Amino acid sequence: MKNFWDIVNDVIGQSDIVMEILDARFVEETRNKELEDRIRAKGKKLIFVINKCDLAEKGVLEKKKRELNPCVFVSAIKRFGITMLLHEIQRHADKSKERVVVGVVGYPNTGKSSVINALKGRASAPVSPQSGFTKALQLIRITSRIYLLDTPGVYSYMEKDAAKHALISSMDFSRIKDPESAVISLLEYNRKAIASHYGVKELKDSEALLVEIAVKMNKVKKGGVPDTKLAAQMLLKDWQRGKIRII
């Protein structure tokens, strides 16, 4: 991955407005305050976009919305809130400018490319369930004078918290070095949702719960020994692909 600040400064420099795309399931975790400060310091307008609204409870989101301003909820997949977002962009776009560039930033996999495609009305920015998919900046025209700048998802190399990367899918499950530890911390906060997804008892001990899931999903080594590493990889994959709805 290219240097975080190289990409960030490049995007902010080219943009008049910046949209930070957040994941509705993990709004706080997908905020990058350093990035937000830099956007403001450069005098650029910041719009918060909470995407993947279809995967979270409305009540929780309404509360978040009051903390972030201006903020628009969307679901790129369900095309919910897209017209509202376009109006919000137009409201902040300098009327005297012939060309307004809106940078789209956020952690990998929050749905930057998907939001752009929803605004454009057809697929122009390639999308993938694998995080780190967009590799370079790409300018996409959505109205006669508004251009969106798709960017690679970035986070600072200082962020080494594997559990957070697993949680918000910023690092693809296949690249997480110790899937078992990542899953253990995921289980700590999402025990109920995960146990119910796999149809196992909600055990208090996370390691024992992972063993239960391994057995239930038939992830076993020769001799019937539960393969917790394989089970952890499967769980991370399901989690990151949005198969497990949080409760």
Please report, as ranges, the residues that interact with Mg ion according to CB under 5 A. Answer: 112-113, 134
Tell me, by CB under 6 A, how many residues bind ligand GTP: 25
52 binds ligand GTP per the rule CB under 6 A: yes
Q: Which is nearer to ligand GTP, 55 or 215 (CB)?
A: 55
Check residue 173 and report its DSSP letter: G
Q: Which is nearer to Mg ion, 30 or 113 (CB)?
A: 113
**Rounded to an integer, what distance in angstroms lies between the CA atom of residue 151 and that of residue 162?**
23
**Rounded to an integer, what distance in angstroms lies between the CA atom of residue 17 and that of residue 103?**
6
Q: Which is nearer to Mg ion, 44 or 112 (CB)?
A: 112
Q: What is the dihedral of CA 23, 140, 154, 50, to 10 degrees?
A: -10
What tokens were used for 148?
Answer: 């969106």
Within 8 A by CB and 6+ apart from 91, the residues are none
Closest residue to ligand GTP in the complex (CB): 153
242 binds ligand GTP per the rule CB under 6 A: yes
Among Mg ion, ligand GTP, none, what does residue 75 contact (CB within 5–8 Å per kind)? ligand GTP
3-state helix, strand, coil in the chain (%, to 5): 45, 15, 40
CB atoms within 10 A of CB 145: 15
Among Mg ion, ligand GTP, none, what does residue 128 contact (CB within 5–8 Å per kind)? ligand GTP
The 95-134 site mask, x for binding ligand GTP (CB under 6 A), equals -----------x-xxxxxxx------------xxx-xxxx
Among Mg ion, ligand GTP, none, what does residue 108 contact (CB within 5–8 Å per kind)? ligand GTP
76 binds ligand GTP per the rule CB under 6 A: yes
For 55, the enclosing helix (H) or strand (E) is: none
What tokens were used for 201?
Answer: 């008892």
Evaluate the omega torsion of the peptide bond into residue 129 and state whether it is cis, within 30 degrees of 0. Answer: no
Q: Which is nearer to ligand GTP, 125 or 187 (CB)?
A: 125
CB atoms within 10 A of CB 25: 23
Among Mg ion, ligand GTP, none, what does residue 32 contact (CB within 5–8 Å per kind)? none
The nearest distance, CB 125 to Mg ion, in angstroms, is 6
**Rounded to an integer, what distance in angstroms lies between the CA atom of residue 72 and that of residue 21?**
10
The nearest distance, CB 34 to ligand GTP, in angstroms, is 17
Q: Which residues make up the interface to ligand GTP (CB under 6 A)?
A: 51-52, 54-55, 75-77, 106, 108-114, 127-129, 131-134, 152-153, 242
